[in-house]
């Protein structure tokens, strides 16, 4: 069986009108290598996001946990994780948490982002987001707060995404 047909069996059809992120995660997460494949799929859908090589570890309604390994190409001149890589991880974590929680007929876009760098980030960084649960596709703005933590559990960065939710276009 070709790898393309395996992928087609794993990934739900985008055109079904369902929540593609939720359907994909629910189908893939419990399979061997499924979380990694899901993370790669997200990285392919948003190539700049994919550049940090983050892995979605946990995803459920209103919650996401995403990790990013500290690698040389993500570091700045001070030998810590670059601010832009941290911002990217914060946005990814908040986006998958919110996307998983959306009704099937809703979509979103980040309209703004506030970020606080609290200390130098080194080692594996974990993004944690407890996102608002969206019950309607009606146009509304939501604040999505993400905490980025180092391996000791200390916050290194706090991100607040200003996210607009609305109905999918017909």
CATH of the domain at 54: 3.10.129.10
- Do 69 and 36 form a contact (C-beta atoms < 8 A)? no
Res 48: pLDDT: 87
Res 13: pLDDT: 47
Cβ partners under 8 Å of residue 44, min gap 6: 50
Res 17: pLDDT: 67
Res 117: pLDDT: 96
Cβ partners under 8 Å of residue 136, min gap 6: 103, 106
How many domains, the chain?
A: 1
Q: Which domain does 142 fall in, by range? A: 3-167
Task: Please tell me the pTM assigned to this model.
Answer: 0.89
Q: Which residues of the chain have pLDDT under 50?
A: 5-8, 12-15
């Amino acid at each position: 069986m070709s790898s393309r047909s395996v992928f087609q069996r794993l990934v739900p059809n985008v055109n079904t009108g369902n929540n593609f992120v939720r359907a994909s995660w629910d189908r893939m997460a419990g399979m061997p290598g499924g979380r990694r494949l899901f993370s790669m799929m997200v990285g392919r859908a948003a190539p700049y996001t994919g550049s940090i090589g983050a892995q979605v570890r946990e995803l459920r309604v209103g919650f996401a946990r995403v990790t990013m390994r500290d690698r040389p190409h993500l570091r700045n001149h001070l030998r810590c994780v670059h601010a832009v890589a941290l911002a990217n991880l914060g946005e990814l974590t908040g986006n998958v948490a919110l996307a998983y929680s959306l009704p099937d007929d809703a979509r979103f876009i980040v309209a703004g982002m506030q970020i606080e760098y609290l200390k130098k980030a080194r080692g594996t960084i974990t993004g944690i987001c407890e996102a608002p649960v969206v019950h309607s596709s009606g146009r509304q703005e939501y604040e999505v707060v993400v905490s980025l933590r180092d391996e000791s559990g200390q916050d290194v960065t706090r991100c607040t995404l200003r996210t607009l939710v609305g109905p999918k276009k017909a």
